[in-house]
Structure 1
Amino acid sequence: MDSTSNGVAGELPTNGNGVTVDKGVDFANYFCTYGFLYHQKEMLCDKVRMDAYYNAIFENKEHFHGKAVLDVGTGSGILAIWSAQAGARKVYAVEATKMTEHARELVKANNFQDVIEVIEGSMEDVILPEKVDIIISEWMGYFLLRESMFDSVIFARDRWLKPGGMMYPSHARMWMAPMRSGLGDQKMDDYEVAMNDWHNFVDETKTYYGVDMSVLTKPFDAEQKKYYLQTSLWNNLHPQQVIGTPAIVKEIDCLTASVHDIIDVRSNFSSSITERTRLCGFAGWFDVHFRGNKDNPARREVELTTAPSLDNGTHWGQQVFLLHPAVRVDEGDDMIVSFSMNRSKENHRLMEVELGCEMRQLSGKQLPRFARKFYIE
């Protein structure tokens, strides 16, 4: 699952913004989490996730039969085992953490030790004995691109996939839509409580200890605003909380996309408000598709979606970008939204998002444009 490389052989790994990445620090901050079974279990209990990959493999077994498969970021090894059960000749299951020890035990317990080779190491460092017919990976992070793991999948594809090979999944899309939620009011209350507590702290420190801490009020305020008001939230929204037409902000062909295509994501999209309510922010989610390729399409195309759902939420949920204050909107109001997402300079696995919005009411009145910056952490 390592994505510390920009996919160019011979260069030092960077975070996509030209800043060199310390692989040891990156491992400590990111990979260590995936080395624990409790975290693997959370993903394995995600029925939407599991059903999509299971159906994609077993409804298209002819893609796997007799083929060589590379599983990037194998984790517990379940995708590798399913590939073998579908008839793969050989499966290379690459994993950067000590989860490889559990994966090997699981492979052996299911009698696939002669088919599946579990390899511990970052994808950028691993050498395979052959090129493969299929690359399978569950690389998606919050709002698709958080964690930057797709970098490693791209690297694996460019180095190890045969001409005419397949990517599982083959395509991905990022979506956004206007939404309503009481979370905005709650977060504003939390911010105000934190600032009131700070002001009391400043007063008491000066009264009892003779030190004026007020010079630190401005940076403390900036910290709290970022934490409470500018950091996107994880949520599993109900479909009725979406108050406007969803729009695609990014489409990715996993067979052709480059790292450059995903470092800086920019989009302008429109949405029409569907009811009279409060616009409390925007929700972001993704879907991926298993289509095979144009020369060998899937017999049954499978979709995995993380859209707001009545009863089938996922561990990815949606990313919620809250507006403070909320904006009154009416049915038929139109909005044009500008969206940009870049990697954080401090941590290439985290994201910074800028949203700008122009609103035209049904009456024809143009509302003042607003813009906000957010952090996906």
Structure 2
Amino acid sequence: MGTSANAAPGGRGAPVPKDVDFANYFCTYAFLYHQKDMLSDRVRMDAYFNAIFENKKHYAGKTVLDVGTGSGILAIWSAQAGAKKVYAVEATKMSEHARALVKANNLQNVVEVIEGSMEDVTLPEKVDVIISEWMGYFLLRESMFDSVIHARDHWLKPTGVMYPSHARMWMAPIRTGIVDHKLGEYESTMDDWNNFVDETKTYYGLHAGHLEYKGGSTSLWNNLHPHQVIGTAAIIKEIDCLTATVADIEKVRSNFSLSITMETAKLCGFGGWFDVHFRGRSEDPAKQEIELTTAPSVDYGTHWGQQVFLLHPPMNLSEGDDLKVSFLMSRSKANHRLMEVELGWTTGYMADSIALDALNDDII
């Protein structure tokens, strides 16, 4: 529900150079309006609330670490569920608001708010539970899970549990009218650029035509209606939060099959979403497993929405048609909190591929 620092890509929680740690990422979460957006997400809030209070056995009398506490709500709930000590780590000045909220709920003797990056914090003891709302758009944008892995490897007891305990990434074929809209935007942008090049040459004698201008992208954030999903969904990545390493999530590579389930359908792209589960661990399972899903929904949408990867032109397909899809998502070299995606797909009679600057601040 807040932020922590980032761990180095490729290492198990090793610190990253300061020039890789982007100030704007932390600044975003330091403002109350951003926290309000997350706190207003009922699906998100209900899932964490139920996960904690339906599984008090994991909290009563236990020590808890909240990674990226933000406003402090998860730390407060952990204390209200009976935790004897909660360490609430927050990398931004939101920690001041968290302390005020903790005091307002008379829990300052249980919840200790610590301002600092998770990688730099030293706790006086190991903990029984690590809780965190670390998920970004399409699960892995922002790379905050690196900090959770660092916390787990350094501060979780051998018998400890992770909240959430598991995560999955999904993808399905979709139909949408956004394709034409985005194409219109792209053409308008390119017209503006070409006019700029012409005018610069005419008025100032400057030849700028050799410069490459990328005026559009094929990926964007969206809230899909379930009716826009035109085929089966496939899991493209499963994560066990108790054992996953940074290397496991630096690159997500998957080959999977999708099947069209509508009698006639226009394939306009692919929609991606995620879910997380609160299951405890095999030796100490949750009394009540809770799921938080960001799948397309009429009544239970989330602030995460879905990530949409558009195709142009759309393709007419029929019920029973199969798609073979190859997927690769890796961290941007320019900013490892952002992701780049490559999608390739084939049907029985056609093949295509698209490279996407996806999950980018210019897009979502």
Structure 1 residue 42 corresponds to structure 2 residue 25: no
Distance 1:286 1:308 in 2: 10
Please show how residues 1-377 of structure 1 align to structure 2 within 5 Å. Answer: 1-6=4-9, 12-13=15-16, 21-22=17-18, 26-216=21-211, 219-220=212-213, 223-224=214-215, 228-230=216-218, 232-275=219-262, 276-360=264-348, 366-367=349-350, 369-374=351-356, 375-377=358-360
**Length, aligned pairs only:** 355
The more displaced of 98-107 and 321-330 is 321-330
SS of 1:201 mapped into structure 2: helix
Per-residue deviation, residues 211-239 of structure 1 (Å, max 9, x unmatched): 343233xx02xx11xxx233x21111000
Aligned-partner SS, 1:345: coil
Counterparts of 2:243 and 2:83 in 1: how far apart (Å)? 24
Structure 2 residue matching 1:141: 3-state secondary structure: coil
Distance 1:145 1:11, change over 3 A: closer
Distance, in Å, in 2 between the alignment partners of 1:200 and 1:73 is 47
Aligned-residue identity in percent:
70
Question: Which structure shows the bigger proportion of residues in helix conformation?
Answer: 1
**Partner SS for 1:376:** coil
Asked whether the 8 Å contact 1:70–1:92 carries over to 2, the reply is yes
SS at match of 1:207: helix
**Contact map agreement 1:7 1:259 (CA 8 A) in 2:** yes
- Contact kept? 2:13, 2:246, Cα under 8 Å: no
Alpha-carbon spacing, 1:125–1:5, altered in 2? closer, same or farther (3 Å): farther
Shift of 1:195: 1.4
Q: Find the aligned partners of 1:159 and 1:284 in 2 and give their Cα distance.
A: 32
TM-score normalized by the length of structure 1: 0.91
Q: Which residue pairs with 1:18 in the alignment?
A: none
Shift of 1:27: 4.3
Q: Can you list the C-alpha shifts for 1:242-274, whole angstroms capped at 9, x where unaligned?
A: 011000000000001111110111111101011
Give SS of 1:214's match. Answer: coil
Question: Helix, strand or coil: the match of 1:250?
Answer: strand
Tell me the alpha carbon deviations over residues 287-328 of structure 1, each in whole angstroms, 9 at most, x when there is no partner. Answer: 000001111111110000000001211000000011111111
- Between the aligned partners of 2:338 and 2:109, the Cα distance in structure 1 is 38
The CA deviation at 1:194 is 1.2
Any gaps of 5 or more consecutive residues in structure 1? 14-20, 361-365
Residues 159-199 of structure 1: CA deviation (Å, up to 9, x unaligned): 00001110000000000001011111111111111112222
- For residues 6 and 196 of structure 1, do their structure 2 counterparts lie closer, same or farther at Cα, with a shift above 3 Å needed? closer
Q: 1:125 to 1:9 in 2, by over 3 A?
A: farther
Secondary structure of 1:178 counterpart:
strand
Shift of 1:11: 5.2
Question: C-alpha offsets along residues 45-87 of structure 1, whole Å, 9 cap, x if unaligned?
Answer: 0000000000000011111000000000000000000000000
Q: In structure 1, what is the Cα distance between the partners aligned to 2:45 and 2:15?
A: 35
Q: How far apart, in 1, do the equivalents of 2:13 and 2:40 lie?
A: 39
CA distance in structure 2 between the aligned counterparts of 1:206 and 1:161, rounded to whole angstroms: 63
What is the alpha-carbon distance in structure 1 between the residues aligned to residue 165 and residue 13 of structure 2?
28
CA distance in 2, matches of 1:243, 1:272: 9
3-state SS, counterpart of residue 114 of structure 1: coil
When residues 307 and 11 of structure 1 are mapped into structure 2, their CA distance, relative to the original with a 3 A threshold, is closer
Query: Structure 2 stretches of 5 or more lacking a match?
Result: none
Matches of 1:154 and 1:200, distance apart in 2: 50
Cα pair distance change 1:68/1:156, threshold 3 Å: same
Deviates more, 1:321-330 or 1:252-261: 321-330
Please tell me whether the aligned partners of residues 73 and 139 of structure 1 are also in contact (alpha carbons under 8 angstroms).
Answer: yes
Q: Which residue of 2 aligns with 1:17?
A: none
TM-score between the two structures when normalised by the length of structure 2: 0.94
